[in-house]
Amino acid sequence: MLTTTALKPFLIDTICVDTPLTLAPMAGYSNYAFRSLCRDLGGCGMVCTELLSGPALLDKSSRARSIRMFDWRASEFPVAVQLFGAIPQEVAEAAKIVVDYGAAIVDINMGCWVPKVAKKGGGAALLRDVCTATAVVEAVVKAVDVPVTVKVRSGWEDGLVTAIPFARAAEQAGVKAIAVHARFAGQGHTGSADWDVIRRVKEMVTDIPVIGNGDVHTGADAARMMAQTGCDGVMVGRGAMGKPWVFQHIAHYLQTGETLPEPSRAERAQLALAHARRWLETSWMVERQAVLEMRGQISKYQLDEPGSVIIRNQIVRANSLAELETIIEPILQA
């Protein structure tokens, strides 16, 4: 029998997240254009910037560039700004800066495993030692008066689930929500997420919401994750790439148990164009640079006929908005 899950809002401290669905931070993707498109299409309760370097924000010569790159806006409320760093005082100082620039929530990255971040002890490497990870959140909580959240992996070392003891310590340190990507650092994005870790984190904390993350692509996935883990929110990453409507579809499923039909090819083309144009309108980059940066995202809208990659190959070679329009506009009439 099909059971539906209510589309319940949840609270991060005093901030109400209107739906339990949130957009995952994704480097190279979670810019304003994509975040706002996901919000505008409905169903997405909260967005997060991609990770920003705490040390880069502290350096006055790179600060303006960092802020400009991540471009969060008041209209996105409640936008979480994600920081990474390993030294408690540094991350705390960086948090003050992003709050001054309008961050509604400061999120601390404890999930990134790439050497550039983890080698310096930041990201998922913080989970090697619960005490250091807790010291970082304590310092940030003391430094800012907006809610502080964390996004963790299951743990650093395969099989050693540090997320569970850390969740309790983080809650005691004043963290207001925890997102759990249920994979170990060494897994990257391989294998399947082990949602049982999310359930155990939910059991471990007392009051704060737990946001489950990993392998949610459909409404049925989200409903299953919520039922299996008791999580308060569901975070979607790769499932939203080239599919900013996924939140609306998941929300509809959670409310009704019905699966909405996927957008037609022409509808996908329309959204791809809207995405490209919004990026061009809002990016600080010159047009060519902005197009090079974004064409990978636009190629994910699956604008080809089944079995073909002609359009995709044209998109990833485009150098201007006009070129993208020439490639995509004919599909609007298809």
* In the complex, minimum distance from the CB of residue 239 to ligand FMN, in angstroms, rounded to a whole number: 5
3-class DSSP string for 176-199 = CEEEEEEEEHHHCCCCCCCCHHHH
Looking only at the bridges linking them, the beta strands covering 52-53 and 79-84 are parallel
* In the complex, minimum distance from the CB of residue 207 to ligand FMN, in angstroms, rounded to a whole number: 23
Q: Does 5 bind ligand FMN (CB under 6 A)?
A: no
* In the complex, minimum distance from the CB of residue 236 to ligand FMN, in angstroms, rounded to a whole number: 5
Cα(334)–Cα(332) distance, integer angstroms: 6
Distances (CA, A) of 288 to 68, 167, 317: 18, 44, 11
Q: Does 112 bind ligand FMN (CB under 6 A)?
A: yes
Q: Does 154 bind ligand FMN (CB under 6 A)?
A: no
Nearest residue to ligand FMN, using CB? 237
Q: Does 20 bind ligand FMN (CB under 6 A)?
A: no
Q: Does 246 bind ligand FMN (CB under 6 A)?
A: no
Q: Among 45, 209, 237, 244, which residue interacts with ligand FMN (rule: CB under 6 A)?
A: 237
Helix axis angle, 163-173 to 130-143, nearest 10°: 30
Judge whether 38 counts as a catalytic residue.
no
In the bound state with ligand FMN, the residue whose beta carbon lies nearer, of 69 and 274, is 69
Cα(18)–Cα(291) distance, integer angstroms: 33
**Which of these segments, 20-28, 69-77, 154-162, 321-329, binds ligand FMN (CB under 6 A)?**
20-28
Check: CB of residue 20 under 8 Å from CB of residue 5: no
Cα(94)–Cα(39) distance, integer angstroms: 26
Three-state SS for 317? coil
In the bound state with ligand FMN, the residue whose beta carbon lies nearer, of 14 and 190, is 190
Three-state SS for 153? strand
Among 38, 112, 131, 231, the one annotated catalytic: 112
Name which of 296, 218, 228, 217 is nearest 258 in CA terms: 218
Site map 49..78 versus ligand FMN, x via CB under 6 A: -xx---------------------------
Q: Does 118 bind ligand FMN (CB under 6 A)?
A: no
Cα(first)–Cα(last) distance of the chain, in Å? 38
* In the complex, minimum distance from the CB of residue 152 to ligand FMN, in angstroms, rounded to a whole number: 9
Catalytic residue numbers read 112
For ligand FMN, the binding residues (CB under 6 A) are: 24-29, 50-51, 82, 109, 111-112, 151, 181, 189, 213-216, 236-239
